[in-house]
Amino acid sequence: MTTSQAVIKTEKRRVFIVDDHPITREGMTEIVNREKDITVCCEAGNVLQTMQSLTTCRPDIVIVDLTLEKSNGLRLIENISYSYPGLPVLVYSMHDEALYAERCFKAGARGYIMKQEPSRKFLSALRTVLNGEVYISDRLSEKLINKLIERKKDHPASSIELLGNRELEVYQLVGQGLKKRDIAENLNISLKTVENHIEHIKKKMKFKDFHELLRHAFQATAHCPE
């Protein structure tokens, strides 16, 4: 075996972890760094930090939490897919609704695993995506299949499916407790545009007023209903 072959054989795959909770990043880093073939090269807590670090970090995969600090993981996935089309993204989220996974895959993600899964499944998902395959956890796969079979158009939980990606982004930020002006600043849009999105959300989800929207968004974002 030549020296160059030995280097190739022992080189670890580089993992970038994006999560707005430092303690979660620390736990994931510990799990990854225990493995012989992978290592964490970068960490970030929001979209801006991630896009800035990607220019120098050069990871082989990015692990993205769906709910980020004052932002939305969907937008980050889209940004990564556009700027780094060959870079795979694995979503690691507390949300297990089939809706979120579908949107993530449409945005460019290559895998989706829930945070409730044990570390061995997380590592399996990570390696699956690193190997160029698509990963969906067993529980989520079952939900997706049931959704295709049942197609319950009038089910209350399905109303969120009517939201566009930007509307969903506003909806989640409302659920995180951000004021309208803060949402506008985070998304780099005008206050009027935010108000228009909120009105569209109210109509599509049949909320009587903003307070009902706020309660629903908080429950969906903070408590992550099944």
Residue pLDDT, tens place only, 125-179: 999 999 999 998 877 788 778 777 766 554 545 578 788 888 988 998 898 889 9
Q: Is the pLDDT of residue 100 over 60?
A: yes
> Comparing 20-24, 67-71, 94-98, which segment has the lowest mean pLDDT?
94-98
Name, of 4-13, 55-64, 168-177, the range with top average pLDDT: 55-64
pLDDT of residue 97: 67
In the predicted structure, residue 49 carries a pLDDT above the cut 60:
yes
Residues 55-83 have a mean pLDDT of: 91
**Distances from the Cα of 191 to the Cαs of 136, 177, 201, in angstroms?**
37, 16, 15
Say whether pLDDT at 92 is over 60. yes
pLDDT recorded at residue 158: 58
Q: What is the pLDDT of residue 176?
A: 84
Helix H, strand E, coil C: the string for the chain is CCHHHHHHHHCCEEEEEECCCHHHHHHHHHHHHCCCCEEEEEEECCHHHHHHHHHHHCCCEEEECCEECCEEHHHHHHHHHHHCCCCCEEEEECCCCHHHHHHHHHHCCCEEEECCCCHHHHHHHHHHHHCCCCEECHHHHHHHHHHHHHCCCCCHHHHHHHCCHHHHHHHHHHHCCCCHHHHHHHHCCCHHHHHHHHHHHHHHHCCCCHHHHHHHHHHHHHHCCC
Question: How much is the pLDDT for 25?
Answer: 96
> Residue 102 — very low, low, confident or very high, per pLDDT cuts 50/70/90?
confident
Residue-level pLDDT at 143? 77
Structural domain boundaries of the chain? 3-145, 156-223
| Topology adopted by domain 156-223 | Arc Repressor Mutant, subunit A (1.10.10)
Give me the chain's average pLDDT, please: 86
Region of poorest pLDDT, from 8-22, 145-159, 175-189: 145-159
Look up the pTM and report it.
Answer: 0.75
Euclidean distance between CA atoms 16 and 116, whole angstroms: 20
The answer on pLDDT for 184 being more than 50 is yes
pLDDT over 90, % of the chain: 58
Q: Looking at the domain that runs over 3-145, which CATH code has it been given? A: 3.40.50.2300
Q: How far is CA 20 from CA 26, 100, 192, in A?
A: 11, 18, 28
> Which pLDDT score is estimated for 151?
60
Largest separation between any pair of C-alpha atoms in the chain: 71
Residue 218 has pLDDT above 70, yes or no: yes
Give residues with Cβ within 8 angstroms of 100, minimum separation 6. Answer: 66, 93, 112
Is 222:177 a contact under the CB 8 Å cutoff?
Answer: no
